[in-house]
Each structure stands twice: as C-alpha cells, then as structure tokens.
Structure 1
Amino acid sequence: MTSHILVINPNSSHKVTKNLEATVVAPEGVKLTFYTAPPDSPLEITPVTSLASETAVLNDFAQSPHLVSDYDAFLVCCYSDHPLVKSLGKLTNKPVMGIMQATLIYALSVNRKSFILTSTSEWEPVLDQAVMDFIGSDSFPTKKFERTRGLNVNVTNLADTEQFNQIYQTTKSIFEDYNDVGCVLLGCAGMAGLDRKLSEKFPDIRFVDSVKIGIELLTSLCRFDSQAK
C-alpha cells in the first residue's frame, strides 16, 4: 500500500518548493506531492505574516477539496508553531504535522543536547517560546536544549551555494558557545539539503533536516493507522 503525503510550502516561493523537490527523497512505499501556497500568501513567512499564510492556503484548499481528500497525510513546511497545522487538523482526521514539531519529537528522543538553527534572529524568541509550549513548560528546558540561534540569511537564499560560507562561519562561531551540543535542528524548510553540507564540516554533530524527519514520522503514522484499521 502506497501512502500519499502532501508536502505543503505555505509561502508563495516556488524557489523554496523546488529546493524541497530536489533534496527530499520519498521513503519506500510513499509518494510525495509538493504544494506551493497561492500568490496571495507571503513570499517569506515571519512571525507577523503566518496568519496571512494560513488564510491563503485554507482558501485555496476550500476551492480545491481534492487537496484534502486525495492524500493520506500532510506536512506543513514552515518552521514555527504555524496555525495551519491546527486548522488543517480540523479539516481531516488524517495525520497533520508541522516540521518544527517533527524535529522536537526527534530531539526529545535522542540522548543529545540540541538547539534550533534558524534563518534570522527575529525568530529566536518565537521559537524558544514554541519549544516551551510544545513541552508544556513555563521555563526553557535547558537540560535538553540551548537557545535558538539565527543565521540572518533570507529564507529564500538559504540553499544558495554562495551563501554556504556565511552559514558555515556563523555555525562555527555558535559552536564556540554551545560546545555541549550534539544535535542541531535546522529550523527552516529553506535549509533543505544543508544537513549533508554541514555534516561534512562538523562530522561529530547530527544535523536534522526538518522536512526529512517530518516525512519519516508521517510515514510511520500512516503505516500505524493502516495497521489499526
């Protein structure tokens, strides 16, 4: 039985979606379909524009009901507590997951201290709060995580080859502060493919691609659901 997963890019950047298509491989028995939000969705999602992104995608889904009925699971590829995860969950009983939630499940499952490496410093307090909310804690869980750090690179340029030296140098400087970290959660869908590049530079660190782990977890949920029926 083949599981069909809809990989949702909730911003309107086809460049980000094409990078996902080029770097994410479907697990055995899984078919991936990649979706880009319509033009009225923001080109780049910030803490301020996530609601506009949610509205644009939900309106598109309302006009195209097959976007819900044709798929077995849904991955929302914005690294945040994106409201689309909850709103899509109200439209279907099928598994819906955000890429941030997927990486946090992974981080809590391994015996390594982690931190989120994201696109810009604007996201740092937002994602730190999201970690606390996900765990259900009023304080930041310092035994498992270091604070989020931003690269200050535009999300649509994160996968560009010419940006990698800046990303490498910034990451290197972060490790000077976070010398007890063994796992880095790549906190942006636009970072797809950076896990391999950064692993070559820092072989002792596990870099977790948020989209890849999201697909793997959804694949497991689809299989679990099929066995339960």
Structure 2
Amino acid sequence: MGLSILVINPNSSKKVTDNFAQILEKPDGVSFDFYTAPEAAPAEITGSETSIASEKVVLPDLKEKGLIDGYDGFLVCCYSDHPLIHSLAKLTKGHVMGIMQATLLYALSDPSITKSVIITSVSEWEPLLDKGITDFVGASSFPINKFQRTKALNTSVLSLSDPAEFEKIRAVVDSHLNGTYRDDKIDCVLLGCAGMAGLDDQLSRHFPGVKFIDSVKIGVDLLTALVRFKRYQA
C-alpha cells in the first residue's frame, strides 16, 4: 500500500509551492499533494508574528477541507519551529515534520560532517533559528561544537529561487563560508528557507567539499522513512 504525503506551504505564495513541485522527486510508492495557504495568510513568513498569523489561517483551513485525516504524513515547509507543526500533530494520526527539524536530524546523524551552519533568507530569522537549534538538541546553550550561528542572505523569500538572484546569493554564501567563518571548518550548509528549495545543486558546484542540504528534499525523504517505520510498528 502506497504512502500519501501533503506538502504544506504555510504562506500564501503559490510561486513557492510551484517550486516545490518542480524540484521534488517522489520516493517509490509515495504520492504527493501540494497545499498553499489561503490568501488571508502572510505572503511571506518573516518571524514569530507572521508564523503565528500563518498557523491561525492554515489550521482551520486544513480542518475545513478535510485534509487532516487524509494523509500518512505532513511536511510543514517553513524553516522554523512553526506552530503549525505542533497544532497539526495534536489533530492527526499522520506523522508531521517541519523542514528545519529534518535538516537538523540530518546534520546530527551524518558522522562525516564536522560542523554545520544554517544560511537563511533575512536577518530577523538569525536569533530565532539559533534558538531553534538549541531547543532541538535539548541544550542549555548554543551547541557550538556542531553548529555555527545562523547567517542570512538578506534576500526576500519570494526572490530566492529567481535565477537573477543567484550570483548575489553565491557571493553572500562565499562571504560567510570563506570570510566570517573561514576558520570553522564548516562542511555542511543547511538551506534555511523553503524558498531556497533547488539551490543545493547550484551552490554545490561553486563550493566543492561543502554539502548543501535542501530542507524540502531531505524533509520528504525523512518524513517518508518515519511514516514507513510507523507502519512497521503498527
């Protein structure tokens, strides 16, 4: 029996959702549906306030459309500890995962990685994502032995996938890796925004020896594995 995954874009920008559909490859035996938040949700999620506003629109809409019990897994595609992850998990028997959590699991589970850094869209996210890392690993302080502190591109979420923006993105990534953090031996970059989906291959070509982890791609793969494991235990 196949698995069904709902890929949730909790902002109202269909452009972001369309990009997911273009770059994702379905694992064998898995079907995807893609959801974009209604127009009442923020077009771009830039921090705590817009995350809360997003959840207040999306959760009732998922209920009204009968989607909560219709899938084996739900991937919440906002790179943060988005409140929808927790509220949705209380209402569904399906497995719920956020894309930030997926990248952190990957970074901590790969023994070949020395140190990781999140590179995100705008600077408002930097302290929030650093707190997210600390909370996720259950530490009392930032786990500097495994992660360096988050850095931003200072590019709008809605522009991150535009080809015209790539040279700017590449230059900022270079300044972080080979400037600010040149002595940190960073060999893994977690692409810390759903709008960066698909940039992993492009950036890898410019920075040999560094793994660039697409949060939506790894989110789908880890979520699928966890849903399958849950079936084994049933």
* Cα distance in 2 between the residues matched to 1:92 and 1:33: 17
Partner residue in 2 for 1:43 = 43
Q: After TM superposition, give the deviation of residue 71 of structure 1 in Å.
A: 0.7
Q: Secondary structure at the match of 2:97?
A: strand
Contact 2:72 2:94 in 1 (8 A): yes
Q: TM-score, normalised by structure 1?
A: 0.97
* Cα distance in 2 between the residues matched to 1:17 and 1:39: 14
Q: After TM superposition, give the deviation of residue 93 of structure 1 in Å.
A: 2.3
Partner residue in 1 for 2:187 = 182
Partner residue in 2 for 1:161 = 163
Q: After TM superposition, give the deviation of residue 192 of structure 1 in Å.
A: 0.7
After superposing the two structures, state which structure 1 stretch, 70-79 or 218-227, moved more. 218-227
After superposing the two structures, state which structure 1 stretch, 142-151 or 176-185, moved more. 176-185
The Cα offsets for residues 50-87 of structure 1, whole Å up to 9 and x where unpaired, read as 1110010011012112x112210000000001000000
Q: Secondary structure at the match of 2:189?
A: strand
Q: After TM superposition, give the deviation of residue 108 of structure 1 in Å.
A: 0.7
Aligned ranges for residues 101-140 of structure 1 at < 5 Å? 101-111=101-111, 112=113, 113-140=115-142
Q: TM-score, normalised by structure 2?
A: 0.95
Partner residue in 1 for 2:61 = 60
1:223 aligns with 2:223: no
Q: CA RMSD in A?
A: 0.9
Q: Secondary structure at the match of 1:146?
A: strand
* Cα distance in 2 between the residues matched to 1:17 and 1:145: 29
* Cα distance in 1 between the residues matched to 2:25 and 2:33: 11
Report how many aligned residue pairs link the two structures: 228
Structure 2 residue runs without a partner (length 5+): none
* Cα distance in 1 between the residues matched to 2:26 and 2:34: 11
Q: After TM superposition, give the deviation of residue 133 of structure 1 in Å.
A: 0.8
Q: Secondary structure at the match of 1:116?
A: strand
* Cα distance in 1 between the residues matched to 2:219 and 2:23: 14
Shift >3 Å, 4+ stretches: none
1:214 aligns with 2:219: yes
Q: After TM superposition, give the deviation of residue 178 of structure 1 in Å.
A: 2.1
Contact 2:46 2:122 in 1 (8 A): no
1:193 aligns with 2:198: yes
Letter in 1 for 2:101: Q
* Percent of residue pairs identical: 56
Structure 1 residue runs without a partner (length 5+): none
Partner residue in 2 for 1:149 = 151
Q: After TM superposition, give the deviation of residue 105 of structure 1 in Å.
A: 0.5
Partner residue in 2 for 1:89 = 89
